[in-house]
């Protein structure tokens, strides 16, 4: 009987240890769930210097379009985000002169319907297509040049540096630019840039290309000179006639 108790004692001890261990063990951490949908506005808000760009994304609804497309497209997207300073450096009234449709085009011009890493931008075939298009569905493009430590983007109207990346992970890349990307198709010569009237001189004439002022002759000047010529001819004729009668 004593032998049996001695045999069961180690088994009971082992069972007790297992029960205590199970009771005190920490529950396993739950497996991480799927990542939430990508939100462009949240990325820009975290950057902290894109208030104007976020406002324009909202009023044009381009921000919502990007969020929908980037979460459903296999190609991904690339966004070039101008800073608040970039918008402040625009000529006063630049944004106000745009129609709602032109504002949409301007913001779409900062979005490419494909994911590009920094390395991709160095070797990409120019021009890079954007979401903006003009008449006859002509697509507005961007041109990229540079080296490993610096990439420049040109619109044909302005050129600036691609500063750094707020996000560079598929399916969305968001890069900071120090200037608003103004498409040449909209802001080029004789487009949205107002044409200044010809400068007027103090005397009231119109300046020519050389800077000299030409004053138009008044009708009175022309008629006065004609009257002087007629009067002089009549006087000479009368003198000749009197001499004939005398001699």
Identify whether 114 is part of a domain. yes
Left if phi > 0, otherwise alpha if psi is -120 to 50, otherwise beta: which for 48? left
Identify whether 217 is part of a domain. no
Q: How many residues does the chain have?
A: 247
* Per-position b or e across 121-144, b if 16+ CB within 10 A of its CB: beeeeeebebbbeeeeeeebbbeb
Around 4, how many Cα atoms within 13 Å sit in the side-chain half-sphere? 1
Identify whether 147 is part of a domain. yes
Identify whether 204 is part of a domain. no
Tens-of-pLDDT digits for all 247 residues of the chain?
Answer: 555 555 555 555 565 556 555 555 555 555 554 567 899 999 999 999 999 999 999 999 999 999 999 999 889 999 999 999 999 999 999 999 999 999 999 999 999 999 999 999 999 999 999 999 876 667 899 999 988 789 999 999 999 999 899 999 999 999 999 999 999 888 876 455 533 333 444 444 434 443 444 444 444 444 444 444 444 444 445 444 444 444 4
Identify whether 42 is part of a domain. yes
pLDDT value, residue 73 = 84
- Domain containing residue 82: 37-185
CB-CB contact of 172 with 88 (8 Å)? no
Q: Which contacts of 158-166 are long-range, i.e. CB under 8 A and separated by 24 or more positions? A: 158/182, 160/86, 162/80, 162/118, 162/121, 165/118, 166/43, 166/44, 166/46, 166/47, 166/81
Q: Which CATH number do you get for residue 134?
A: 2.30.180.10
Total structural domains in the chain? 1
Backbone angles phi, psi at 151, to 5 degrees: -125, 130
pLDDT value, residue 187 = 87
Distance CA 157, CA 182 (A): 7
Distance CA 169, CA 76 (A): 10
Q: Within 10 Å of residue 56's Cβ, how many Cβ atoms?
A: 21
Identify whether 234 is part of a domain. no
Identify whether 28 is part of a domain. no
Token pair for 148? 């490993």
Distance CA 156, CA 152 (A): 12
pLDDT value, residue 46 = 95
pTM score > 0.75 for this model? no
Q: Within 10 Å of residue 84's Cβ, how many Cβ atoms?
A: 14
Would you call 98 exposed, middle or buried from its count of C-beta atoms within 10 A (0-12, 13-18, 19+)? middle
Identify whether 172 is part of a domain. yes
């Amino acid at each position: 009987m004593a032998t049996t108790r001695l045999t069961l004692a180690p088994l009971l001890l082992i069972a007790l240890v297992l029960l205590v261990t199970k009771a005190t063990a920490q529950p396993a951490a739950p497996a991480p769930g799927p990542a939430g949908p990508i939100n462009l506005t949240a990325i820009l808000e975290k950057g902290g210097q894109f208030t104007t760009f976020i406002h324009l994304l909202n009023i044009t609804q381009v921000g919502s379009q990007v969020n929908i497309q980037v979460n459903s497209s296999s190609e991904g997207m690339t966004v070039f985000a101008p800073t608040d300073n970039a918008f402040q450096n625009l000529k006063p009234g630049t944004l106000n002169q745009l129609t709602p449709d032109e504002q949409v085009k301007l913001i779409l011009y900062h979005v490419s319907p494909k994911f590009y890493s920094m390395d991709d931008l160095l070797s990409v075939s120019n021009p890079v297509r954007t979401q903006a298009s003009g008449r006859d569905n002509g697509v507005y493009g961007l041109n990229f040049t540079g080296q490993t430590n610096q990439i420049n983007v040109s619109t044909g109207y302005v050129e600036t540096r691609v500063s750094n990346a707020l996000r560079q992970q598929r399916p969305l890349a968001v890069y900071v630019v120090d200037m608003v990307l103004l498409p040449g198709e909209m802001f080029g010569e004789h487009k949205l840039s107002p044409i200044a009237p010809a400068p007027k001189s103090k005397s009231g004439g119109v300046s020519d290309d050389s800077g000299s002022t030409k004053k138009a002759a008044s009708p009175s000047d022309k008629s006065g000179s004609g009257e002087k010529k007629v009067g002089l001819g009549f006087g000479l004729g009368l003198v000749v006639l009197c001499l004939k009668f005398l001699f």
